[in-house]
Amino acid sequence: GKASPISRSWEKLRSENRDILFIRAGVRVSRNWDILLCSIAYLEASIAAVSPLCARDPYFSLTSKINHDYCSPDTVNSWLQSTGRNRVFDVPVFLRSCVFFRHAALASLGTELWNFSDDTLAQALWAKGWTLVGSESVYVDDSDVPWEQHDDALEAREDVVDFLFNHPLTGLRW
């Protein structure tokens, strides 16, 4: 796949020694979405990246099919709070439209990540012992952001097929 905007940005941000919150233009968010993602990232020392739930990506979508209907992030987040689940689940990828990265995780990959695709970056973090998580307590609406498929090689992996078949959001989805 092509180089990730996150990987390309890292070259400029590496010396800042700060965590990175990446969000694509057109993503609609709710109040405190950034604070929630940051607080989840520090629940465990092994967490590299935290992704919210969304409208489009099958790994993080609140619907079982790609959804183009607009749902206000504030409304959906209120509903999520009312379900009381607030679970954090391991996931093999991160949400390309909105993700929080811990600086230490990206720094652990050294200087080579400038040309990584999103899915290659995710796999490199896993290989170093980091975890990628999704959060049931934050939703962003990325229905207006251009959609890109995940890498075919990733999608064919047995553990990824199993993840999608036994999706952690199954009980929450509509």
What pLDDT sits at residue 51? Answer: 97
- Token couple for 120: 């290659």
Q: Which residues pair with 20 in a beta bridge?
A: 101
Q: Assess whether pLDDT exceeds 60 at residue 67.
A: no
Question: How many of the other CB atoms lie within 10 Å of CB of 115?
Answer: 12
DSSP the chain: -PPPHHHHHHHHHGGG---EEEE-TT-B--TTHHHHHHHHHTSSTTEEEEEEEBSS-TTTBSSSS---S---HHHHHHHHHHHT---EEE-SS--TTEEEE-HHHHHTTTTGGGG--HHHHHHHHHHTT-EEEEEEEEE-B-TTSPP-PPPHHHHHSHHHHHHHHT-TTTTT--
What pLDDT sits at residue 1? Answer: 62
Amino acid at 157: R
84-120 pLDDT tens trace: 777 899 999 999 999 999 999 999 988 777 778 898 9
Which of 33-37, 117-121, 164-168 is predicted least confidently?
164-168
Question: How many of the other CB atoms lie within 10 Å of CB of 155?
Answer: 15
Q: Assess whether pLDDT exceeds 80 at residue 142.
A: yes
Q: Assess whether pLDDT exceeds 90 at residue 129.
A: yes
3-29 pLDDT tens trace: 788 887 877 777 888 899 999 999 999
Give the residue with greater pLDDT, 17 vs 44.
44
Q: Calculate mean pLDDT across residues 49-78.
A: 82
Handedness of CA 81, 87, 90, 92 (dihedral sign): negative
DSSP 97-118: TEEEE-HHHHHTTTTGGGG--H
